[in-house]
Homo-oligomer: A and B are copies of this chain.
Amino acid sequence: MRNFKIILQYEGTRYQGWQRQVSTDNTIQGRLETLLTKMTGQAVQVHGAGRTDAGVHAMGQCANFHLETGMSCREILGYMNRYLPEDIGVISVEEMPERFHSRLNAVGKTYLYRVWNTEIPTVFDRRYVYICPAALDEQAMRRAADDLTGTHDFSAFTSARKSKKVARSMVRTIDTIEIKRVGKELQFIYKGDGFLYHMVRILTGTLLETGTGEKKPEDIKTIMDRGMREEAGMLVPAKGLTLVEVRYNDRSFYESKGKW
C-alpha cells in the first residue's frame, strides 16, 4: 500500500465540514473518499489533519490516504482536480513513508479569522469574512491576545464538553496570535500546536468583545482560570475562518518519495 499526502483548498460554504457523516453526506472527507474509491475501486479512508466545521474554509488543509495504485502523484492530482467540484482543489500530492499520518504527525496549525470592519460591503470576499462594523480598540485586543498566548487549559474557550468517561486534555499551546489590519479588514492569525472544538472562533469572539469594550483585557486570565464557557466571548460565524497551514516536524523523517 502506498501512502499519499495531499494539500488541499476548499470553500466551506456548501459543506457540512470535513468529517464524514453517516447519512446525507456532504462533507469534504466524504467527497474525497467517494472520488478515490471511484478512481481505484478500493475502499479508501482519508485522514485529515484538521476537522474543520461546517462553513469553515481551508487554504492548506492536509490529508493522507493509503492506496494500491500504479498512478503517479501527478496523475492522482490531475484525476482528483478533474472530478472534484470547483470549490475543492488539490494543490499537491506527495508520496510519503507508510507511517506518515496527517493528523497524528502534525505539530502545528495556522488559522486565520477575517473580520470586515466597516458597514461598506465587500462583494468579492463576502463568503470569507465576518462583518463587524463596530469600532474596535486594537490595543485592548492585543493585550488580551497576549494573555491568551502560551500553554493553558482552554476549557472556557471551547464548545467541547468534559466527559467523565474519557479524560480529554483541554491544554493547548498557542505560539502566537497576530492581529493585523489590512485596510478595512482585521485579520486574526493563530499559530499553535492544535485547537479545541470551536476554539479559534470563541477566541476571536472574546477578542472582538474586548475590542468593543464589552470585556476588559484584564478579565482574560480570570476567564481562563475559571474555565466557564459562558464567561468567554461569543462563537463568531464559521464563514470568517480559514485553516491556512498544517506544519510537520523534521521533513527528513517523513521524507517524500516523490511529489507533484
A: residues with CB less than 8 A from B are: 9-11, 57, 59, 77-78, 81, 86-92, 119-124, 126, 128
**A-B contact sample (18 more), CB < 8 A, given A11-B123, A86-B126:** A9-B121, A9-B122, A9-B123, A9-B124, A11-B124, A77-B120, A78-B119, A81-B121, A86-B121, A87-B126, A88-B123, A89-B120, A89-B121, A89-B122, A90-B121, A91-B120, A91-B121, A92-B120
Tell me which residues across on chain B come within 8 A of A92, comparing CB atoms.
120
> A123, B78: Cβ atoms under 8 Å?
no
* CB of A60 to closest CB in B, whole Å: 11
Tell me which residues across on chain B come within 8 A of A122, comparing CB atoms.
9, 89
> B123, A10: Cβ atoms under 8 Å?
yes
In the complex, the chain B residue whose C-beta lies closest to that of A80 is B121
Tell me which residues across on chain B come within 8 A of A89, comparing CB atoms.
120-123
The residue among A88, A119, A123 with the most chain B CB atoms within 10 A of its own CB is: A123
> B119, A59: Cβ atoms under 8 Å?
no
Q: Oligomeric state, in number of copies?
A: 2
* CB of A239 to closest CB in B, whole Å: 12
> B86, A123: Cβ atoms under 8 Å?
yes
Tell me which residues across on chain B come within 8 A of A119, comparing CB atoms.
78, 81
In the complex, the chain B residue whose C-beta lies closest to that of A7 is B120
The answer for the CA separation of A128 and B120 in the assembled complex, in Å, is: 21
Tell me which residues across on chain B come within 8 A of A128, comparing CB atoms.
124
In the complex, the chain B residue whose C-beta lies closest to that of A59 is B124
* CB of A167 to closest CB in B, whole Å: 38
* CB of A109 to closest CB in B, whole Å: 19
In the complex, the chain B residue whose C-beta lies closest to that of A11 is B123
* CB of A159 to closest CB in B, whole Å: 27
The answer for the CA separation of A119 and B121 in the assembled complex, in Å, is: 32
* CB of A183 to closest CB in B, whole Å: 12
Tell me which residues across on chain B come within 8 A of A11, comparing CB atoms.
123-124
The 5 closest A-B pairs by CB, nearest first: A89-B121, A9-B123, A89-B123, A86-B126, A11-B123
* CB of A9 to closest CB in B, whole Å: 4
> B87, A123: Cβ atoms under 8 Å?
yes
* CB of A32 to closest CB in B, whole Å: 14
In the complex, 7 of the A-B residue pairs with CB atoms within 8 angstroms, ordered by the A residue number, are A57-B124, A59-B124, A78-B119, A86-B121, A86-B123, A89-B123, A91-B121
